Amino acid sequence: MTRDIHITAVRITPIAFRDGPLLNAAGIHEPWALRAIVELETNDQRVGISETYGDAPMLAALEQARGLVVGLSPFDLNAMEQRVHAAVKPAAGAVEFELAPGSHTAKNAAKVTSTFEVAMLDLQGQIVGAPVVDLLGGAVRDAVPYSAYLFFKYAEHIERPYPPDAWGEGVAPEQIVAQARRMIGLYGFGSIKLKGGVFPPAHEIACMRALRRAFPGLPLRLDPNANWSLATSIAAAEELDELLEYYEDPTPGLDGMAALAQRTRLPLATNMVITTLDEFRRGAASGAVKVLLSDHHYWGGLRVTQTLARMCALWELGLSMHSNSHLGISLIAMTHVAASIPNLTYACDTHYPWQEEEVIEGGRVVFENGSVRVPRTPGLGVTLDRARLAELHAQYLACGLRQRDDLKQMRKYDPSFTGKAPRY
Amino acid sequence: MTRDIHITAVRITPIAFRDGPLLNAAGIHEPWALRAIVELETNDQRVGISETYGDAPMLAALEQARGLVVGLSPFDLNAMEQRVHAAVKPAAGAVEFELAPGSHTAKNAAKVTSTFEVAMLDLQGQIVGAPVVDLLGGAVRDAVPYSAYLFFKYAEHIERPYPPDAWGEGVAPEQIVAQARRMIGLYGFGSIKLKGGVFPPAHEIACMRALRRAFPGLPLRLDPNANWSLATSIAAAEELDELLEYYEDPTPGLDGMAALAQRTRLPLATNMVITTLDEFRRGAASGAVKVLLSDHHYWGGLRVTQTLARMCALWELGLSMHSNSHLGISLIAMTHVAASIPNLTYACDTHYPWQEEEVIEGGRVVFENGSVRVPRTPGLGVTLDRARLAELHAQYLACGLRQRDDLKQMRKYDPSFTGKAPRY
């Protein structure tokens, strides 16, 4: 009986991997991105795996929650969630990164639940011989499409901790077009997103126009990361009107987005003003947004993402998917849940092309025509490469970073940079 | 691999079983209650089972949908749901029973989805060796409490198609108290619900007072089934104020319930003004109701019931469970899903004590201290008794009833009965 199997140990391994000098509204990515790899071991020697945030407050929350899953069956997702929500609280005084909902410690319980849930579903799948997607009601598509996620970037990190990446500088419109050509050439993506909010809006609009000319058939998205005032967002909307599939978080706050929605035909998308089910309750009917970007890592797991999807269908909102810098375990978890959701009709965001390293056996996950094929093997369908895990953990120990701080990093390039938002 | 298993055939068997002369706002139960037993067969000779409505429009909807699941894996719940919602439509011109949301053909797709989902989850559980509750995230309680569901009733059906039941007449307060004593004595229930809306409110309030005196420690509920005007409901609320755990659907419509909510401290409960996720979207924030009664049969299945539960938690609504006349397959499906939901904190309604017959092997499901223990065996944990199924099907063929009509039945007792609502 499956019921005799229970979780005996939790292993939490922080890792660091190389990350490009990618620009955003808050500043610039540091040379190392942090994640945590969580393993749940069972009494029958199985290991379920999960990937989540690796910043210090998240590691503390995971450490605090470690004992909550020991002794549970991998099937006890509801009991796990109850225990985590009862025990895991927001951290006091934690430094939060406004643009990244995943860094908000108010979401600690949701983030820990998600981490354990993915590893428990991986165990369930191994135990019963079914892929995780089948434990979520089965796949409605064989492969999940992702978008080409473009960034403004420098050619090299200021510290030069390792050789520059192969992408070169990405500032001028022609450089952004070249970045898109390279990314689409390598992976076959069928839609394009540009992370904006970095340069003056006229420049970013020029980049979108250049992308439109270079890729006349592809849906385009722009995400100024709430770095534009309402007036700027309204003015830009007129110029972007014919260009965009959706207009993501141009201006801060639900009220700002609602005011903007009155002034543009463009569907507004968000991963900033609605980031929890409770914010959904308060904001879904506001008319502010037409597309929600889900993210199982901070919404509370794969099952909550399915609940969110049903709620989006009810409130007639579109559904897409957000990402942070991540490796293959996250990508595969995203793929399983996206494959299970009929109304997840937009190509999902992923930072994956910006990473070069991996922690799973077999190396990098493959994109075919811009999509990741849904694994048909039991569980998540990926396993840990322990040698690579040890290397990435050693990088974590060596790099010294313990919490993402894109603002502080930007000040190394420009000591006068304030990060004040909205900047434009 | 579990993936090689697929559904090869669908068997739909309408059944009729004896049902008591139970009174309600619409009239009186007929001597036979109709249900359908649905079996899904797989290529590896497994059979998954489900129980649902057996009225003619539902049988037609099931018949129409039969081909939609053939060829699917039992794990393909999402694809099944997509197909059913695309193909199954409300029936034109069907006679609907206003008080019973399960009879609304606008809910056909949800009802068919639920029917197939339960049988597919039964198959999944058999295949992987896990109880259905584990496929829903695991149990948060070992047993599910039900309430003693009292009815005003006559001693015998007017047609006398079979000997009278053992419950006798239930009209006077002392008869209702005796009914409760018998039901609690037999099954151990720890809370009491009275189906009202039958006699003048003063009489029903007198019954509630008699129940309070006889059972001082037990939570009480009264359900006038929208048969009281707003003014009557407000006046009654004052008298019921200290008596009730919740006040279920006293008056018709969301607006009526909202107006009543302004005039009473009693939490209002409903299975009438919010009966779909879309009605939830429109009504949850109205303040009209504080407690929702779920019912997987017409809400769309066990997984949708879990979604509803998350939504109730978000909107700070309580969650209970509704029932219609049913047998053990439904009771066990209700038990699995109720066991998986942390915030299903009220004892569930069930008509089960009013049925004497069964269609599952081993006979009647057992209540222990008013609760049904959650099965730990694979799948639903109950199997069909084919001899009993054949007998109940023969009763269906012989009884001649094809659709529930409590009003028409009442006119046999009282030709002047109009069924006009609200009556008081």
| Residue B239 and residue B114 share a domain | no
Q: What is the mean pLDDT of chain A?
A: 96
Q: Which of B3, B76, B140 sits opposite A78 (nearest CB)?
A: B140
Judged by CB atoms closer than 8 Å, whether chains meet at A137 and B310 is answered as no
- Flag if B129 and A303 touch (Cβ within 8 Å): no
Inter-chain touch B76–A130, beta carbons under 8 Å: no
Average pLDDT over residues A62-83: 98
Residues of A in contact with B314 (CB under 8 A): 277-278, 280-281
| Contact residues, chain B, for A130 at CB < 8 Å | 2-3, 75, 128
Q: Which stretch of A122-131, B97-106, B232-241, B373-382 has the lowest confidence by average pLDDT?
A: B97-106
On the question of pLDDT at B96 being above 80, the answer is: no
Domain for residue B378, yes or no? no
Is A337 within the bounds of a domain?
yes
> Taking CA A277 as the corner, what is the angle to CA A260 and CA A245, rounded to the nearest 5 degrees?
40
What distance in Å separates the CA atoms of residue B78 and residue B101, rounded to the nearest whole number? 24
pLDDT tens column, A324-369: 999 999 999 999 999 999 999 899 999 999 999 999 999 999 999 9
Amino acid found at B222? L
A102 in a structural domain: yes
Q: What average pLDDT score do residues B173-197 get?
A: 98
Residue B405 lies in a domain: no
Hunting for tokens 């009282």 — which residue is that?
Answer: B414
Assess whether pLDDT exceeds 80 at residue A404: yes
Q: What pLDDT does residue B260 have?
A: 98
Q: Give the pLDDT confidence score for residue B1 in this predicted structure.
A: 55
Set B322, B326, B336, B351: catalytic member: B322
Output the domain CATH number for residue B123. 3.30.390.10
A394 and A286 within one domain:
no
How close does chain B come to A190, measured CA to CA in Å? Answer: 25
Q: How many domains does chain B contain in total?
A: 2
In angstroms, what separates the C-alpha of A56 from chain B's closest C-alpha? 29
Q: Residue B95 falls within a domain, yes or no?
A: yes
A206 and A73 in a single domain? The answer is: no
CB contact under 8 A, A76 and B138: yes
Examine the residue annotation and report whether A297 is marked as an active-site residue of this protein.
Answer: no
- Per residue in A115-146, pLDDT tens? 999 999 999 999 999 999 999 999 999 999 99
Q: What is the pLDDT of residue A1?
A: 55
B65 shares its domain with B155: no
Give B276's DSSP letter: S
What residues have CB less than 8 Å from B363, skipping those under 6 apart? B385
Distance from CA of B281 to the nearest CA of A (A): 7
- Identify all chain A residues contacting B132, using CB atoms and an 8 Å cutoff: none
A251 shares its domain with A310: yes
Residue A195: active-site member:
yes
Beta-strand runs (E) in A202-275: 220-223, 246-248, 268-270
Of the residues A195, A297, A326, A336, only one is catalytic, namely: A195
Position A91 scores a pLDDT of 80
Flag whether pLDDT at B342 surpasses 80. Answer: yes
**Confidence (pLDDT) at B99:** 77
Distance CA A258, CA A263 (A): 9
Percent of chain B with pLDDT over 90: 95
Q: A178 and A138 in one domain?
A: yes
Q: How far is B130 from chain A (nearest CA, A)?
A: 6
Is residue B121 located within the same domain as residue B155? no
Q: What is the pLDDT of residue A96?
A: 72
Say what the pLDDT of residue A95 is. 66
CB atoms within 10 A of CB B306: 22
In a mutational test of the A interface, the residue from B72, B78, B280, B303 whose CB has the highest number of chain A CBs within 10 Å is B78
**Considering CB atoms only, which of B140, B277, B311 is closest to A82?**
B140
- Taking CA atoms, B64 is separated from A3, B35, B70, B86, B275, in Å, by 38, 17, 12, 12, 24
**Residue A62: pLDDT band with limits 50, 70, 90:** very high
- CB–CB of A298/A96 below 8 Å? no
d(CA B302, CA B338): 9
B16: its two tokens:
């009729």
Residue A390 sits in the same domain as residue A354:
no
Q: What is the mean pLDDT of residues A95-116?
A: 88
Read off the amino acid at residue B137: G
The structure tokens 């690579």 sit at A388
Instruction: Provide the token pair at A110.
Output: 């949701």
What ipTM was assigned to the predicted interfaces of this complex? 0.96
The CATH number of the domain where B255 resides is what? 3.20.20.120
Residue B408 lies in a domain: no
Q: Is A185 exposed, middle or buried (0-12, 13-18, 19+ CB in 10 A)?
A: exposed
pLDDT at residue A411 tops 60: yes
| Chain A nearest-CA residue for B378 | A1
Q: Chain B partners of A277 at a C-beta cutoff of 8 Å?
A: 310, 314
* Interchain pair A307, B307: CB under 8 A: yes
- The pLDDT value recorded for residue B101 is 86
Enter the pTM of the model: 0.97
Together in a domain, B274 and B195: yes
**B90 vs A225 pLDDT, higher one:** A225
Indicate the range of A184-188, A383-387, B1-5 predicted with least confidence.
B1-5
Tell me the mean pLDDT in the region A30-55. Answer: 98
State which residue of chain B sits closest to A280, comparing Cα positions. Answer: B314
Residue A413 domain flag: no
Q: Looking at B193, B195, B297, B351, which residue is catalytic?
A: B195
* Residue B184 to residue B219: CA distance in whole angstroms: 13
Interface of B with A (CB under 8 A): 1-3, 73, 75-79, 81-82, 127-130, 134-140, 277-278, 280-281, 303-304, 306-307, 310-311, 314-315, 340-342, 376
pLDDT tens for B247-298 read 999 999 999 999 999 999 999 999 999 999 999 999 999 999 999 999 999 9
Within this chain, do residues A185 and A211 fall inside the same structural domain, yes or no? yes
Q: How confident is the model at residue B95 (pLDDT cuts 50, 70, 90)?
A: low
Domain that holds residue A32: 2-129+386-398
Show Cβ contacts of residue B176 under 8 Å, excluding neighbours closer than 6 positions: B150, B152, B170, B194, B207, B210, B211
- Name chain A contacts of B342, Cβ cutoff 8 Å: 78, 81-82
- Distance between CA atoms of A180 and A185, rounded to whole angstroms? 8
3-state DSSP call for residue B220? strand
What does pLDDT average to over chain B?
96
Residues A208 and A252 in one domain: yes
Whether A57 is in a domain gets the answer yes
Distance CA A291, CA A269 (A): 4
pLDDT confidence of residue A81:
98
Quick one: how far is CA A380 from the chain centroid?
18
CB contact under 8 A, B78 and A130: no
Q: Quick one: A150 and A98 in the same domain?
A: no
